[in-house]
Structure 1
Amino acid sequence: MYLGVEINSMKLLVCGKGGSGKSTLTALIAKSLAKRGYKVLVVDGDESNLSLHRLLGVEKPKELKDLFGSRKEIFEKAKNLELRRIKDIPKEFVVAKDGIMLVCIGKIHSFGEGCACPMGALLREFLKGLKLDQNEFVVVDSEAGIEHFGRGVEEGCDAIVVVLDPTYESKIMADRIKAMNVEKPIYFVLNKFDERFGDLLKDLDAVVKIPFREEIFISCLKGEELKCEVDEIDRLVDVILNQKQA
Protein backbone atom coordinates (compact mmCIF):
# COMPACT_ATOMS: atom_id res chain seq x y z
CA MET A 1 0.00 0.00 0.00
CA TYR A 2 1.34 3.44 -0.90
CA LEU A 3 1.73 6.22 1.61
CA GLY A 4 0.13 9.58 0.88
CA VAL A 5 2.76 11.80 -0.75
CA GLU A 6 2.73 15.10 -2.58
CA ILE A 7 3.69 15.40 -6.24
CA ASN A 8 7.40 16.07 -6.41
CA SER A 9 10.54 15.55 -8.48
CA MET A 10 13.90 13.98 -7.80
CA LYS A 11 17.06 12.57 -9.35
CA LEU A 12 18.12 9.21 -7.86
CA LEU A 13 21.55 7.66 -8.38
CA VAL A 14 21.59 3.85 -8.08
CA CYS A 15 25.01 2.34 -7.42
CA GLY A 16 26.56 -0.91 -6.20
CA LYS A 17 29.28 -3.44 -6.86
CA GLY A 18 29.20 -5.53 -10.01
CA GLY A 19 26.59 -8.28 -9.81
CA SER A 20 24.71 -6.77 -6.87
CA GLY A 21 21.60 -6.18 -8.98
CA LYS A 22 21.69 -2.40 -9.41
CA SER A 23 20.39 -2.48 -13.01
CA THR A 24 17.56 -4.75 -11.89
CA LEU A 25 16.67 -2.41 -9.02
CA THR A 26 16.95 0.62 -11.30
CA ALA A 27 14.29 -0.90 -13.56
CA LEU A 28 12.07 -1.92 -10.63
CA ILE A 29 12.30 1.52 -8.98
CA ALA A 30 11.40 3.18 -12.29
CA LYS A 31 8.38 0.90 -12.69
CA SER A 32 7.25 1.57 -9.11
CA LEU A 33 7.41 5.33 -9.72
CA ALA A 34 5.61 5.05 -13.07
CA LYS A 35 2.78 3.12 -11.38
CA ARG A 36 2.20 6.15 -9.18
CA GLY A 37 1.84 8.44 -12.17
CA TYR A 38 5.30 9.98 -12.21
CA LYS A 39 7.05 10.73 -15.48
CA VAL A 40 10.26 8.71 -15.21
CA LEU A 41 13.53 9.08 -17.12
CA VAL A 42 15.95 6.19 -16.66
CA VAL A 43 19.55 7.14 -17.42
CA ASP A 44 21.82 4.24 -18.39
CA GLY A 45 25.14 5.48 -17.05
CA ASP A 46 26.86 2.08 -16.88
CA GLU A 47 29.21 1.84 -19.84
CA SER A 48 29.67 -1.95 -19.55
CA ASN A 49 26.25 -3.36 -18.62
CA LEU A 50 24.21 -4.23 -21.72
CA SER A 51 20.88 -5.39 -20.32
CA LEU A 52 19.07 -2.41 -18.77
CA HIS A 53 16.95 -1.64 -21.83
CA ARG A 54 15.84 -5.27 -21.97
CA LEU A 55 14.73 -5.21 -18.34
CA LEU A 56 12.54 -2.22 -19.24
CA GLY A 57 11.16 -3.96 -22.33
CA VAL A 58 12.49 -1.45 -24.88
CA GLU A 59 15.09 -1.24 -27.63
CA LYS A 60 18.39 0.43 -26.79
CA PRO A 61 18.39 4.10 -27.89
CA LYS A 62 21.16 5.88 -29.73
CA GLU A 63 23.93 6.79 -27.29
CA LEU A 64 24.13 10.37 -26.04
CA LYS A 65 27.89 10.43 -26.56
CA ASP A 66 27.18 10.34 -30.30
CA LEU A 67 26.28 14.02 -30.01
CA PHE A 68 30.04 14.58 -29.98
CA GLY A 69 32.65 13.73 -32.57
CA SER A 70 35.36 12.34 -30.32
CA ARG A 71 36.27 11.55 -26.73
CA LYS A 72 38.25 14.80 -26.48
CA GLU A 73 35.22 16.77 -27.64
CA ILE A 74 33.11 15.19 -24.90
CA PHE A 75 35.46 16.65 -22.27
CA GLU A 76 35.55 20.03 -24.02
CA LYS A 77 31.84 20.42 -24.79
CA ALA A 78 29.95 18.46 -22.12
CA LYS A 79 29.77 21.48 -19.79
CA ASN A 80 27.90 23.38 -22.48
CA LEU A 81 25.41 20.58 -23.10
CA GLU A 82 22.09 22.27 -23.85
CA LEU A 83 19.77 19.59 -22.51
CA ARG A 84 18.19 21.47 -19.63
CA ARG A 85 14.85 19.67 -19.63
CA ILE A 86 13.81 16.10 -20.34
CA LYS A 87 11.80 17.37 -23.30
CA ASP A 88 15.01 18.84 -24.80
CA ILE A 89 16.57 15.40 -25.38
CA PRO A 90 16.45 14.67 -29.14
CA LYS A 91 13.94 11.95 -30.00
CA GLU A 92 16.53 9.61 -31.53
CA PHE A 93 18.28 9.39 -28.14
CA VAL A 94 15.17 8.36 -26.17
CA VAL A 95 12.92 5.31 -26.14
CA ALA A 96 9.75 5.10 -24.07
CA LYS A 97 7.22 2.61 -22.74
CA ASP A 98 4.50 2.72 -20.08
CA GLY A 99 5.47 6.13 -18.71
CA ILE A 100 9.20 5.33 -18.57
CA MET A 101 11.80 6.86 -20.89
CA LEU A 102 15.35 5.58 -21.34
CA VAL A 103 18.44 7.51 -22.38
CA CYS A 104 21.87 5.87 -22.70
CA ILE A 105 25.04 7.87 -22.03
CA GLY A 106 27.41 5.50 -23.87
CA LYS A 107 29.01 2.06 -23.91
CA ILE A 108 32.45 0.56 -24.43
CA HIS A 109 32.22 -1.19 -27.79
CA SER A 110 35.73 -1.96 -29.01
CA PHE A 111 38.96 -3.42 -27.68
CA GLY A 112 41.46 -0.71 -26.84
CA GLU A 113 39.09 2.23 -27.28
CA GLY A 114 40.22 3.72 -23.99
CA CYS A 115 38.83 4.36 -20.53
CA ALA A 116 35.26 5.33 -19.74
CA CYS A 117 36.19 8.74 -18.29
CA PRO A 118 34.52 10.72 -21.11
CA MET A 119 31.21 8.95 -20.46
CA GLY A 120 31.56 9.71 -16.75
CA ALA A 121 32.15 13.39 -17.53
CA LEU A 122 29.14 13.48 -19.85
CA LEU A 123 26.93 11.77 -17.25
CA ARG A 124 28.05 14.25 -14.57
CA GLU A 125 27.35 17.33 -16.70
CA PHE A 126 24.07 15.94 -18.03
CA LEU A 127 22.74 15.34 -14.51
CA LYS A 128 24.02 18.64 -13.12
CA GLY A 129 22.40 20.62 -15.92
CA LEU A 130 19.10 18.75 -16.07
CA LYS A 131 16.20 20.63 -14.45
CA LEU A 132 13.07 18.69 -13.57
CA ASP A 133 9.50 19.82 -13.83
CA GLN A 134 6.89 18.85 -11.28
CA ASN A 135 6.06 15.14 -11.29
CA GLU A 136 9.31 14.14 -13.05
CA PHE A 137 11.82 11.62 -11.71
CA VAL A 138 15.23 10.55 -12.96
CA VAL A 139 16.67 7.15 -11.98
CA VAL A 140 20.34 6.66 -12.88
CA ASP A 141 22.00 3.27 -13.27
CA SER A 142 25.66 4.07 -12.58
CA GLU A 143 28.75 2.04 -13.31
CA ALA A 144 29.80 -0.69 -10.89
CA GLY A 145 31.82 0.32 -7.86
CA ILE A 146 32.35 3.77 -6.37
CA GLU A 147 34.58 5.49 -8.94
CA HIS A 148 31.67 7.77 -9.91
CA PHE A 149 31.90 9.40 -6.46
CA GLY A 150 35.41 10.51 -7.38
CA ARG A 151 34.10 11.88 -10.68
CA GLY A 152 31.41 13.93 -8.93
CA VAL A 153 28.52 12.20 -10.69
CA GLU A 154 26.42 12.26 -7.51
CA GLU A 155 26.57 16.09 -7.43
CA GLY A 156 23.72 16.27 -9.94
CA CYS A 157 21.47 13.93 -7.96
CA ASP A 158 19.24 14.44 -4.94
CA ALA A 159 19.65 11.03 -3.30
CA ILE A 160 21.63 7.81 -3.64
CA VAL A 161 20.43 4.21 -3.52
CA VAL A 162 23.25 1.78 -2.74
CA VAL A 163 22.51 -1.81 -3.74
CA LEU A 164 24.30 -4.38 -1.59
CA ASP A 165 24.41 -8.14 -1.94
CA PRO A 166 25.37 -10.61 0.81
CA THR A 167 29.12 -10.48 0.19
CA TYR A 168 32.13 -9.22 2.12
CA GLU A 169 32.88 -6.82 -0.77
CA SER A 170 29.50 -5.15 -0.36
CA LYS A 171 30.03 -4.74 3.38
CA ILE A 172 33.38 -3.04 2.76
CA MET A 173 31.87 -0.82 0.05
CA ALA A 174 29.06 0.24 2.39
CA ASP A 175 31.62 1.26 5.01
CA ARG A 176 33.63 3.24 2.44
CA ILE A 177 30.56 5.11 1.22
CA LYS A 178 29.55 5.97 4.79
CA ALA A 179 33.07 7.27 5.46
CA MET A 180 32.89 9.63 2.46
CA ASN A 181 30.32 11.82 4.26
CA VAL A 182 28.41 12.47 1.06
CA GLU A 183 25.95 15.30 1.65
CA LYS A 184 23.02 13.49 0.09
CA PRO A 185 20.43 11.11 1.56
CA ILE A 186 21.75 7.55 1.12
CA TYR A 187 19.51 4.48 1.16
CA PHE A 188 21.15 1.07 1.52
CA VAL A 189 19.23 -1.82 -0.02
CA LEU A 190 20.18 -5.41 0.70
CA ASN A 191 19.43 -7.52 -2.37
CA LYS A 192 19.33 -11.35 -2.56
CA PHE A 193 18.73 -11.49 1.19
CA ASP A 194 18.62 -14.86 2.95
CA GLU A 195 17.18 -14.98 6.47
CA ARG A 196 19.62 -17.75 7.40
CA PHE A 197 22.47 -15.23 7.33
CA GLY A 198 20.65 -12.27 8.87
CA ASP A 199 23.01 -12.00 11.85
CA LEU A 200 26.00 -11.57 9.54
CA LEU A 201 24.27 -8.75 7.64
CA LYS A 202 22.56 -6.80 10.42
CA ASP A 203 25.22 -4.04 10.43
CA LEU A 204 24.44 -2.95 6.85
CA ASP A 205 21.62 -0.60 7.93
CA ALA A 206 19.45 -1.61 4.98
CA VAL A 207 16.21 0.31 4.43
CA VAL A 208 14.71 -2.79 2.81
CA LYS A 209 15.85 -6.38 2.36
CA ILE A 210 14.88 -8.04 -0.90
CA PRO A 211 14.91 -11.85 -0.90
CA PHE A 212 15.95 -13.89 -3.91
CA ARG A 213 13.05 -14.31 -6.34
CA GLU A 214 13.18 -16.91 -9.07
CA GLU A 215 10.90 -14.86 -11.33
CA ILE A 216 13.34 -11.95 -11.32
CA PHE A 217 16.33 -14.25 -11.75
CA ILE A 218 14.82 -15.91 -14.83
CA SER A 219 13.85 -12.57 -16.42
CA CYS A 220 17.40 -11.27 -15.94
CA LEU A 221 18.90 -14.52 -17.24
CA LYS A 222 16.76 -14.36 -20.39
CA GLY A 223 17.18 -10.61 -20.84
CA GLU A 224 13.43 -10.06 -20.65
CA GLU A 225 11.30 -7.27 -19.25
CA LEU A 226 10.72 -7.32 -15.50
CA LYS A 227 6.95 -7.57 -15.06
CA CYS A 228 6.63 -8.60 -11.43
CA GLU A 229 5.77 -6.28 -8.56
CA VAL A 230 8.13 -6.25 -5.59
CA ASP A 231 6.66 -5.05 -2.29
CA GLU A 232 10.09 -4.19 -0.91
CA ILE A 233 10.75 -1.86 -3.84
CA ASP A 234 7.43 -0.10 -3.24
CA ARG A 235 8.39 0.34 0.41
CA LEU A 236 11.77 1.76 -0.59
CA VAL A 237 10.10 4.27 -2.91
CA ASP A 238 7.67 5.21 -0.13
CA VAL A 239 10.58 5.95 2.21
CA ILE A 240 12.37 8.05 -0.41
CA LEU A 241 9.26 10.04 -1.32
CA ASN A 242 8.34 10.74 2.28
CA GLN A 243 11.86 11.77 3.25
CA LYS A 244 11.87 14.13 0.27
CA GLN A 245 8.93 15.93 1.86
CA ALA A 246 10.54 16.16 5.28
Structure 2
Amino acid sequence: MKLLVCGKGGSGKSTITALIAKSLARRGYRVLVVDGDESNLSLHRLLGVEKPKELKDLFGSRREIFEKAKNLGIRRIEEIPEEFVARKDRIRLVCVGKIHSFGEGCACPMGALLREFLKGLKLNENEFVIVDAEAGIEHFGRGVEEGCDAVIFVLDPTYESRVMAERIKSMNIDKKMYFVLNKFDERFSDFLSDLDVVAKIPFSEKIFLACLKGEELKCDIEEVEKLVDTILNQEHARGSFLQY
Protein backbone atom coordinates (compact mmCIF):
# COMPACT_ATOMS: atom_id res chain seq x y z
CA MET A 1 0.00 0.00 0.00
CA LYS A 2 0.99 3.64 -0.40
CA LEU A 3 0.95 6.20 2.43
CA LEU A 4 1.27 9.96 1.97
CA VAL A 5 2.80 11.73 4.99
CA CYS A 6 2.03 15.45 5.17
CA GLY A 7 1.79 18.37 7.59
CA LYS A 8 3.06 21.86 8.15
CA GLY A 9 6.75 22.67 8.03
CA GLY A 10 8.57 21.58 11.17
CA SER A 11 5.85 19.21 12.37
CA GLY A 12 8.13 16.19 11.99
CA LYS A 13 6.99 14.70 8.67
CA SER A 14 10.41 13.39 7.68
CA THR A 15 11.04 11.99 11.15
CA ILE A 16 7.72 10.15 11.24
CA THR A 17 8.29 8.93 7.67
CA ALA A 18 11.66 7.45 8.62
CA LEU A 19 10.37 5.88 11.84
CA ILE A 20 7.40 4.25 10.08
CA ALA A 21 9.66 2.97 7.30
CA LYS A 22 12.04 1.39 9.79
CA SER A 23 9.18 -0.17 11.74
CA LEU A 24 7.71 -1.74 8.59
CA ALA A 25 11.14 -2.99 7.49
CA ARG A 26 11.66 -4.71 10.86
CA ARG A 27 8.35 -6.49 10.29
CA GLY A 28 9.58 -7.93 7.01
CA TYR A 29 8.04 -5.51 4.51
CA ARG A 30 9.95 -4.09 1.58
CA VAL A 31 9.66 -0.31 1.90
CA LEU A 32 10.13 2.37 -0.74
CA VAL A 33 10.46 5.83 0.79
CA VAL A 34 9.73 8.62 -1.68
CA ASP A 35 11.23 12.01 -0.90
CA GLY A 36 8.57 14.29 -2.36
CA ASP A 37 9.59 17.45 -0.51
CA GLU A 38 11.57 19.74 -2.81
CA SER A 39 12.89 21.81 0.12
CA ASN A 40 13.78 19.38 2.93
CA LEU A 41 17.34 18.07 2.68
CA SER A 42 17.67 15.60 5.55
CA LEU A 43 15.45 12.57 4.91
CA HIS A 44 18.23 10.41 3.48
CA ARG A 45 20.37 11.05 6.54
CA LEU A 46 17.56 9.98 8.91
CA LEU A 47 17.37 6.71 6.96
CA GLY A 48 21.14 6.23 7.03
CA VAL A 49 21.70 6.28 3.24
CA GLU A 50 23.38 8.47 0.67
CA LYS A 51 21.12 10.79 -1.34
CA PRO A 52 20.38 9.20 -4.75
CA LYS A 53 20.10 11.00 -8.07
CA GLU A 54 16.82 12.85 -8.47
CA LEU A 55 14.07 11.39 -10.65
CA LYS A 56 13.62 14.73 -12.37
CA ASP A 57 17.07 14.17 -13.91
CA LEU A 58 15.46 11.54 -16.13
CA PHE A 59 14.16 14.51 -18.15
CA GLY A 60 16.04 17.12 -20.11
CA SER A 61 14.11 20.13 -18.85
CA ARG A 62 11.32 21.22 -16.53
CA ARG A 63 8.94 21.48 -19.48
CA GLU A 64 9.67 17.87 -20.44
CA ILE A 65 8.58 16.73 -16.99
CA PHE A 66 5.06 18.00 -17.69
CA GLU A 67 5.09 16.50 -21.18
CA LYS A 68 6.55 13.08 -20.39
CA ALA A 69 5.75 12.28 -16.73
CA LYS A 70 2.62 10.32 -17.65
CA ASN A 71 4.76 8.00 -19.76
CA LEU A 72 7.49 7.53 -17.18
CA GLY A 73 7.35 3.77 -17.72
CA ILE A 74 8.17 2.77 -14.13
CA ARG A 75 5.48 0.32 -13.01
CA ARG A 76 7.36 -1.70 -10.38
CA ILE A 77 9.86 -0.73 -7.69
CA GLU A 78 12.53 -2.92 -9.28
CA GLU A 79 12.19 -0.96 -12.54
CA ILE A 80 13.57 2.22 -10.98
CA PRO A 81 17.09 2.76 -12.43
CA GLU A 82 19.79 1.84 -9.92
CA GLU A 83 21.41 5.29 -9.79
CA PHE A 84 18.10 6.76 -8.62
CA VAL A 85 17.78 4.42 -5.63
CA ALA A 86 19.56 4.38 -2.27
CA ARG A 87 19.30 1.14 -0.29
CA LYS A 88 19.69 -0.07 3.25
CA ASP A 89 18.39 -3.46 4.34
CA ARG A 90 14.71 -3.61 3.31
CA ILE A 91 14.40 0.15 2.75
CA ARG A 92 14.90 1.96 -0.55
CA LEU A 93 14.85 5.72 -1.06
CA VAL A 94 14.05 7.69 -4.19
CA CYS A 95 14.09 11.47 -4.44
CA VAL A 96 11.75 13.21 -6.87
CA GLY A 97 13.67 16.49 -7.02
CA LYS A 98 14.89 19.55 -5.13
CA ILE A 99 15.10 23.28 -5.73
CA HIS A 100 18.82 23.93 -6.15
CA SER A 101 19.29 27.48 -7.41
CA PHE A 102 17.87 30.98 -7.12
CA GLY A 103 15.26 31.79 -9.74
CA GLU A 104 14.86 28.14 -10.73
CA GLY A 105 11.08 28.42 -10.77
CA CYS A 106 8.22 26.81 -8.89
CA ALA A 107 8.04 23.20 -7.73
CA CYS A 108 5.04 22.32 -9.92
CA PRO A 109 7.05 20.03 -12.26
CA MET A 110 8.20 17.93 -9.29
CA GLY A 111 4.61 17.75 -8.04
CA ALA A 112 3.43 16.53 -11.44
CA LEU A 113 6.21 13.95 -11.59
CA LEU A 114 5.43 12.71 -8.07
CA ARG A 115 1.72 12.38 -8.88
CA GLU A 116 2.30 10.36 -12.05
CA PHE A 117 5.02 8.22 -10.48
CA LEU A 118 2.70 7.21 -7.62
CA LYS A 119 -0.32 6.63 -9.85
CA GLY A 120 1.64 4.35 -12.15
CA LEU A 121 3.49 2.35 -9.48
CA LYS A 122 2.11 -1.15 -8.77
CA LEU A 123 3.11 -3.00 -5.62
CA ASN A 124 3.48 -6.58 -4.54
CA GLU A 125 1.66 -7.73 -1.43
CA ASN A 126 4.67 -7.33 0.88
CA GLU A 127 5.61 -3.84 -0.34
CA PHE A 128 4.93 -0.39 1.10
CA VAL A 129 5.47 3.08 -0.31
CA ILE A 130 5.77 5.97 2.14
CA VAL A 131 5.82 9.47 0.66
CA ASP A 132 7.32 12.40 2.56
CA ALA A 133 5.28 15.21 0.96
CA GLU A 134 6.14 18.89 0.84
CA ALA A 135 5.05 21.07 3.75
CA GLY A 136 1.55 22.52 3.63
CA ILE A 137 -1.41 21.40 1.53
CA GLU A 138 -0.48 22.44 -2.03
CA HIS A 139 0.14 18.81 -2.98
CA PHE A 140 -3.59 18.16 -2.54
CA GLY A 141 -4.27 20.81 -5.15
CA ARG A 142 -1.91 18.95 -7.49
CA GLY A 143 -3.65 15.62 -6.88
CA VAL A 144 -0.56 13.91 -5.47
CA GLU A 145 -2.74 11.87 -3.09
CA GLU A 146 -4.56 10.22 -6.03
CA GLY A 147 -1.91 7.53 -6.23
CA CYS A 148 -1.99 6.73 -2.51
CA ASP A 149 -4.28 4.61 -0.34
CA ALA A 150 -4.21 6.70 2.84
CA VAL A 151 -2.88 9.98 4.25
CA ILE A 152 -0.99 10.47 7.52
CA PHE A 153 -1.27 14.07 8.67
CA VAL A 154 1.43 14.98 11.22
CA LEU A 155 0.64 17.77 13.64
CA ASP A 156 2.71 19.48 16.27
CA PRO A 157 1.00 21.29 19.16
CA THR A 158 0.59 24.65 17.43
CA TYR A 159 -2.41 26.67 16.35
CA GLU A 160 -1.22 26.56 12.74
CA SER A 161 -1.26 22.75 12.77
CA ARG A 162 -4.79 22.63 14.10
CA VAL A 163 -6.06 25.12 11.50
CA MET A 164 -4.36 23.16 8.71
CA ALA A 165 -5.86 19.89 9.95
CA GLU A 166 -9.32 21.43 10.04
CA ARG A 167 -8.79 22.79 6.51
CA ILE A 168 -7.91 19.32 5.27
CA LYS A 169 -10.96 17.80 6.96
CA SER A 170 -13.16 20.36 5.22
CA MET A 171 -11.70 19.41 1.82
CA ASN A 172 -13.40 15.97 2.06
CA ILE A 173 -10.44 14.22 0.48
CA ASP A 174 -11.44 10.76 -0.71
CA LYS A 175 -8.74 8.98 1.27
CA LYS A 176 -8.51 7.49 4.73
CA MET A 177 -6.94 10.11 7.03
CA TYR A 178 -4.75 9.29 10.03
CA PHE A 179 -4.05 12.26 12.30
CA VAL A 180 -0.83 11.92 14.32
CA LEU A 181 0.19 14.37 17.04
CA ASN A 182 3.97 14.65 17.24
CA LYS A 183 6.03 16.09 20.14
CA PHE A 184 3.13 15.28 22.44
CA ASP A 185 2.95 16.61 26.00
CA GLU A 186 0.16 15.87 28.48
CA ARG A 187 -0.47 19.61 28.76
CA PHE A 188 -1.89 19.38 25.26
CA SER A 189 -4.23 16.44 25.98
CA ASP A 190 -7.28 18.38 24.79
CA PHE A 191 -5.50 20.00 21.86
CA LEU A 192 -7.17 17.94 19.15
CA SER A 193 -9.97 16.12 20.94
CA ASP A 194 -12.28 16.45 17.93
CA LEU A 195 -9.84 15.24 15.25
CA ASP A 196 -9.70 11.51 16.07
CA VAL A 197 -5.94 11.43 16.64
CA VAL A 198 -4.70 7.85 16.26
CA ALA A 199 -1.25 8.37 17.82
CA LYS A 200 0.39 10.78 20.22
CA ILE A 201 4.14 10.56 19.85
CA PRO A 202 6.02 12.10 22.78
CA PHE A 203 9.07 14.31 22.53
CA SER A 204 12.23 12.19 22.44
CA GLU A 205 15.65 13.62 23.24
CA LYS A 206 17.29 10.81 21.24
CA ILE A 207 15.25 11.74 18.15
CA PHE A 208 15.86 15.43 18.74
CA LEU A 209 19.64 14.93 18.85
CA ALA A 210 19.67 12.67 15.78
CA CYS A 211 17.69 15.27 13.80
CA LEU A 212 19.94 18.05 15.08
CA LYS A 213 23.09 16.21 13.95
CA GLY A 214 21.59 14.79 10.75
CA GLU A 215 22.17 11.21 11.89
CA GLU A 216 20.30 8.00 11.25
CA LEU A 217 17.33 7.33 13.52
CA LYS A 218 18.12 4.15 15.45
CA CYS A 219 15.43 4.13 18.10
CA ASP A 220 12.19 2.25 18.62
CA ILE A 221 9.31 4.46 19.73
CA GLU A 222 6.40 2.60 21.32
CA GLU A 223 3.77 5.01 19.98
CA VAL A 224 5.15 4.67 16.45
CA GLU A 225 4.87 0.89 16.72
CA LYS A 226 1.26 1.28 17.88
CA LEU A 227 0.61 3.66 14.98
CA VAL A 228 1.93 1.11 12.49
CA ASP A 229 -0.20 -1.61 14.14
CA THR A 230 -3.28 0.60 13.79
CA ILE A 231 -2.60 1.36 10.12
CA LEU A 232 -1.92 -2.29 9.25
CA ASN A 233 -5.05 -3.51 11.04
CA GLN A 234 -7.34 -0.85 9.59
CA GLU A 235 -5.98 -1.11 6.05
CA HIS A 236 -6.25 -4.90 6.11
CA ALA A 237 -9.86 -4.49 7.23
CA ARG A 238 -10.51 -1.99 4.41
CA GLY A 239 -8.89 -4.30 1.87
CA SER A 240 -6.25 -1.77 0.79
CA PHE A 241 -3.67 -4.53 0.41
CA LEU A 242 -5.80 -6.53 -1.99
CA GLN A 243 -5.64 -4.15 -4.92
CA TYR A 244 -2.06 -4.97 -5.82
- TM-score normalised to structure 2 length: 0.96
Identity, in percent, stands at 80
Give the whole-Å Cα distance in 2 for the aligned partners of 1:98 and 1:230.
Answer: 20
Q: What is the distance in 1 between the residues matched to 2:66 and 2:236?
A: 36
For residues 172 and 77 of structure 1, what CA distance do their matches in structure 2 show? Answer: 36
Counterpart position of 2:199? 208
Kept in 2, the 8 Å contact 1:171–1:204? The answer is: no
Counterpart in 1 of 2:242? none
What's the CA shift for 1:17?
A: 0.2
**Equivalent in the alignment of 2:169:** 178
> Equivalent residue for 1:14?
5
Match of 1:95 among 80, 86, 100: 86
Q: Tell me the residue number matched to 2:17.
A: 26
Deviating 4+ runs (over 6 angstroms): none
CA offset at residue 182 of structure 1?
1.0
How big is the shift at 1:245? 1.5
* Equivalence for 1:66: 57
**Paired residues for 1:38-57 under 5 Å:** 38-57=29-48
1:21-170 matched pairs, under 5 angstroms: 21-170=12-161
Which of residues 176, 182, 185 in structure 2 aligns to 1:194?
Answer: 185
Query: RMSD over aligned Cα, in angstroms?
Result: 0.7
Structure 2 residues not aligned, in runs of 5+: 238-244
> Alpha-carbon deviation of 1:180?
0.9
What is the TM-score of this pair, normalised by structure 1? 0.95
Once residues 60 and 77 of structure 2 are traced to their aligned partners in structure 1, the CA distance between those partners, rounded to angstroms, is 23
How far has the Cα of 1:197 moved from its partner? 2.4
**Cα distance in 1, alignment partners of residues 76 and 64 from structure 2:** 22
The residue identity in structure 2 corresponding to 1:17 is K
Deviation (angstroms), 1:134 = 1.6
Structure 1 window deviating more from structure 2 (231-240 vs 76-85): it is: 231-240
Query: What secondary structure does 2:109 align onto?
Result: helix
Rounded to whole Å, the distance in 2 between the matches of 1:228 and 1:134 is 27
1:224 corresponds to:
215
Q: Distance in 2 between matches of 1:190 and 1:73?
A: 39
Q: Secondary structure at the match of 2:197?
A: coil
1:203 to partner: Cα distance: 2.9
Contact 1:11-1:158 within 8 A present in 2 as well? yes
Instruction: Please tell me whether the aligned partners of residues 65 and 122 of structure 1 are also in contact (alpha carbons under 8 angstroms).
Output: yes
Kindly tell me the number of residue pairs found equivalent between the two proteins: 237
The structural deviation recorded for 1:191 is: 0.2
Q: Identify the residue that residue 242 of structure 1 maps to in structure 2.
A: 233
